[in-house]
Chains A and B, each alone.
Chain A
Amino acid sequence: MSDRFAVGERVRVRAAWPPGHVRTPHYLRGKRGEILSIAGRFANPEELAYGRDGKPARALYRVRFEQAALWPDHQGRARDTVVADIFEHWLEPAEEGGA
């Protein structure tokens, strides 16, 4: 199975709000970033949290976000960023022309 996204690709974190053990932080939902690197394939923590095996393992991506894109009140000249490790099933391609 190949990875869905490539390094450098623009992606959006799905704006989904399921209950349960979710490791995609709320502040990233619906936000756009780019794939910095592919961290490997890992079992799904959402399933491991309930005693299930979390398989099949799926791709985990290091995704970089501009601070200016995350916070409405972001100030400063610096182009600071956030990187988080996000599972493939939480990502979708960023829309064409998206910020």
Chain B
Amino acid sequence: MHRHHDTGGEPAGPVVPEEHDYAAWEKRVDAILRLLTQRRVITVDELRRGIEELGPGAYDELSYYQRWIASVGNNLLEKGVVTVDELGRKLAEVEARWRAAGRQGEAAP
């Protein structure tokens, strides 16, 4: 048995030529990661390790950039760049702002 991300040589179905235009939030995540690595706050290695540690379910349940932002969040908490309390309050603030603007959604992961 080897870890879920280490997938070379495993059986799989056809390569489905899917692609999508990246959403603004996805580019935002990519940009945040680039800026964090440029400023040496985290490394891409830490990002990858964080994704690997999300566990195999993450690969089935989360999309690519969902895994990225989950890993970035965990890394920033581990390093004390943000606290759990700060992040919780900011998430609630953004959610309230978006709902006030008429958007609907689910805040819980």
Contact = CB atoms under 8 A, between A and B. Distances in A.
Chains A and B share a contact (CB less than 8 Å)? yes
B6 A21 contact: no
A54 B45 CA distance: 10
B8 interface: yes
B46 interface: yes
B52 interface: yes
A51 interface: yes
Contacts of B9: 27, 70-71
Nearest to A24: B6
Contacts of B8: 25-27
A49 B53 CA distance: 11
Given A26-B8, A70-B9, A21 B2 contact: no
Contacts of A48: 43, 45-46
Contact of B49 (A17, A26, A49): A49
Interface of A: 17, 20-21, 25-27, 45, 48-51, 54, 70-71
19 contacts: A17-B2, A21-B45, A21-B49, A21-B52, A25-B6, A25-B8, A26-B2, A27-B8, A27-B9, A45-B45, A48-B45, A48-B46, A49-B43, A49-B45, A49-B46, A49-B49, A50-B49, A51-B43, A54-B45
